[in-house]
Chains A and B, each alone.
Chain A
Amino acid sequence: MTGERIKATGWGVLFTLTLAILIVAGSRNLSHFDAALVGYTFAVLFATFAITYRYAMWLQRPPTALYWKRGWQVFFRPSYLVTNIANWFKRVIGEFALNNFIFKRNKQRGIAHSLIMWGCVLACAITFPLVFGWIHFETPPDDTTWYRTFLFGFPTLAFRIHSITGFLVFHGLVWASFLVIAGVMLALRRRMRDHGAAALQQFGEDFLPLILLFAVSVTGLMLTASYTWMKGYAYDFLAILHAMSVIFTLLWLPFGKFFHIFQRPAQLGVGFYKDVGEREAPALCRRCGTPFTSRQHAEDLIRVEKALGYRYEIEGSAEHYQWICPRCRRAMLVLGQGKLWQDVLGGESIHIDFPPALPQSSLGNPRIDFGPLGDEDKRNFHP
């Protein structure tokens, strides 16, 4: 076993043990733990180990490790801390709660993702504390028409069983499944109709997660239908079917598309890294002299490329190919090919007395093409 795997296993064991201790403590020594839900608990514990293991392995890749370190460094830099905290709230609401960037990619994709995401968030917020025994309900001995909610064994909200609040609370998973099913239908519709998606999608990566979410939601709804309108018909079978679909989904969390749930918060760190980069020294292209990114980013990429075994060092004043802007790279590629032809064709040359400046390339069609960093170029670089 390599050092990386040992480290990742260690983190996995640590997180799993911590969760197990929290389950025991939060359910008051398992006194509020529902033994019927033990299968779910073990599936969550396994998923915790596997997700932590994969996350720890992922964090050890040179580019991820560097960004992880830099993200925290720039966030806690004293001169930017207040702005960073304000931006953190702004981004968590805009990017995570509202999915703004996904809506900009495609409206239908945004709606589908929001429905699935909020359905899953609601379902997890209800089921996980219930499964771990962190939440339980009790009927006060003097009034059986009321329910009191206990969080980690402490009494909290009380509500009448036959009330609108009671109806909404007890059917929380039904509302969640409605959201998820609608989102899954929209996502599947796009996957079945979009030619671009059809060319790239894979069963395990793109379809299986949707099928699993659909299976969990439908089997959950069938349980409600069974005890509400069918006098508990086939309830045991449905309970096993639902448990199987949930457990399989939990076990699949670390392997497929679901893992993006845990990766996506890295976007916040990237945001802070870019914010600081914009305010500090830029990297100037060592061919055309134009600023094209932050100096820190260029230097970090040189470090990452060296760690990955790339040798982009150049002899002369440019020192490293990373100091050349993307536009000059494209120009040099074409000039390199031109040089080969010129060497072969030879001929008699007439030199025109232009100023000896290096060619400054420009976009062929700025209406449909843009600088490499899109809007960021307009804001910061390539003015």
Chain B
Amino acid sequence: MSVHSNMEFFVDPMRCIGCQACMQACTECDTHKGHSMIHLDYLDRAHSVQTAPVVCMHCESPTCAEVCPADAIKRTEDGVVQTARKPRCIACNNCVLACPFGVPKMQTEFKLMMKCDMCYDRTSAGKRPMCATVCPSQALFFGTREQIEELRPRSTPINQFRFGGQIITTKVSMMAPKAARAEYVDVTAAMNEQATGRTITLNILDGMCE
């Protein structure tokens, strides 16, 4: 079983309303029953409503797997980076600390790293991941490229991210404005950015209905 090649995961954090439905649904997945693998952070709770829903981006060259001393993290042929293999993981935390997206979670008492595996029991059987199934604002969307292009004509999926001198290419894409013509999302350039809400921007809806 593998994830069908034309089905893709698209994330658009700007659409997230912080409802936490994804977190609750994530705990229902059979590959990590009872444990939510999705991260939902408030970026600046006191001043902004902006939230950060983060799933595993499933890197083409996963840093977590490369730095694993036990060789416990495997990427399947369909590009999904699986959670640590239970017999091998020695709970060293390398993956947790090296992942550029801050995704893996260490279950210390289990001596096991667990992470989002795109609900592999579901996606490998042609279903959508739990989080994408329940996301009301479609900040987390699982479908074909044609579907997302039709739904978001002003956006384009980007699957490259820059971290200092390193570009990481991922299986999961992030929606970015088409007009920006960006090749990648520059993550480290946003180190000193403020969460939305600290600055109120007017007129942003101009032209949106055209």
Contact = CB atoms under 8 A, between A and B. Distances in A.
Interface stretch (B47-55, B128-136, B142-150): B47-55
B106 A376 contact: yes
Contacts of B163: 312, 314, 321
Contact of A333 (B47, B54, B68, B201): B54
Interface of B: 1, 12-14, 18, 20, 23-24, 27, 29-33, 36, 39-45, 47-48, 50-52, 54, 63, 66-71, 82, 86-88, 90-94, 96-112, 120-121, 124-125, 161, 163-166, 174-177, 179-180, 182, 185-196, 198-204, 206
Contacts of A67: 69, 92
A301 B23 contact: no
B175 to A, nearest CB: 8
A200 B119 CA distance: 11
Contacts of B86: 105
Interface of A: 58, 61, 63-64, 66-68, 95, 101, 104-105, 194-196, 198-200, 257, 260, 263-264, 266-267, 270, 273-274, 287, 292-293, 297-298, 301, 304-305, 308, 310-315, 318, 320-322, 324-352, 354, 358-365, 368-370, 372-376
- What are the nearest 3 A-B pairs in CB distance? A326-B102, A364-B40, A359-B44
A370 B106 CA distance: 9
Contact of A358 (B18, B101, B165, B192): B192
A234 to B, nearest CB: 36
Nearest to A209: B87
B52 A333 contact: yes
Nearest to A261: B87
B18 A364 contact: yes
B109 A374 contact: yes
Contacts of A362: 41-42, 45
A333 B161 contact: yes
Nearest to B123: A199
Contact of A312 (B31, B47, B100, B102): B100
Nearest to A358: B192
B199 A350 contact: yes
A321 B100 contact: yes
Interface centre among A257, A313, A373, A376 (most CB of B within 10 A): A373
Contact of B179 (A61, A287, A322, A344): A344
Contacts of B105: 370, 372, 374
Contacts of A346: 201, 203-204
Given A199-B1, A348-B202, A311 B164 contact: yes
Given A196-B29, A361-B42, 5 more contacts: A301-B98, A361-B41, A363-B40, A372-B102, A374-B107
Contacts of A273: 92
18 contacts: A58-B71, A105-B112, A196-B30, A199-B1, A199-B125, A325-B102, A330-B41, A331-B195, A332-B191, A333-B52, A338-B196, A344-B177, A345-B204, A347-B203, A348-B202, A352-B199, A362-B41, A369-B36
Nearest to B37: A369
Given A312-B166, A321-B100, A322-B97, A267 B111 contact: yes
A315 B166 CA distance: 12
